[in-house]
Structure 1
Amino acid sequence: MQEKRYTVGEVSKITGVSKDTLRFYDKIDLFKPSFVDENNGYRYYTYDQFWKIDIIVCCRKLNISTQKIREILSSEDNDIVVKLMKEHQKEALDLSNYFKHVAEDIEWYVKQHSQICQAELH
């Protein structure tokens, strides 16, 4: 029995990744369909490929380069995948802390400005 094949549109609906992005990933050899119909050029994916989309989405959220994503996806050892992603998780947390401090600095500035304006009125 043949495994169910999913079109680009179906994969997009299931994963939330746009059709254009899926086509782009195919074009740059990041995420290739398991089958391309020779007659109409339609791309088809199988369910067992969906984990790759999850990894790609997670990596893109962490701003990991496509080259590094290729390296992660090519690893046959899930321990290596986890290690590589944990490295980027630390970077993401560091950036999060940085932007939290920036937001706090902006809030301090807004309060200072408000106090100055109030003092000028009195």
Structure 2
Amino acid sequence: MDAGWPQTIDGRWIRWTAPQGESASVHFDSFAANARPDTPLPTWTIWGGNHIDRPDWTLRFSTHAPAELLQDLTFELALGQGVQQVPARTLPRPARLAEQAPPYVPPPPCRPDSPRSR
């Protein structure tokens, strides 16, 4: 990656980790990439959060993932767009009504006017 993300190779894994202060990483699994085409193993793993063992979010892709999709995702991460923290929203509380609504009064029971004929 040309975004200043350090690359490490550890056995079957090639990892690109975001610079300090960012919490995202891209992993390539060379074993999965060379496995049978129908393997369920993810070839690419993109994650964000404090640690890979407990990420806030994870995206996993097979060898069939379009290169353009991977390129767009990693581009967004490299620019810092994918790791921005969204501030927690607080829902506005509904305003209290000045007056209490009148209690519910059920309608009177229906009484037939005439006996039913069968």
Quick check: TM above 0.5?
Answer: no
Q: Output the TM-score relative to the length of structure 2.
A: 0.29
Q: Output the TM-score relative to the length of structure 1.
A: 0.28
Question: Which is greater in Rg?
Answer: 2
Structure with a larger share of its residues in strand: 2
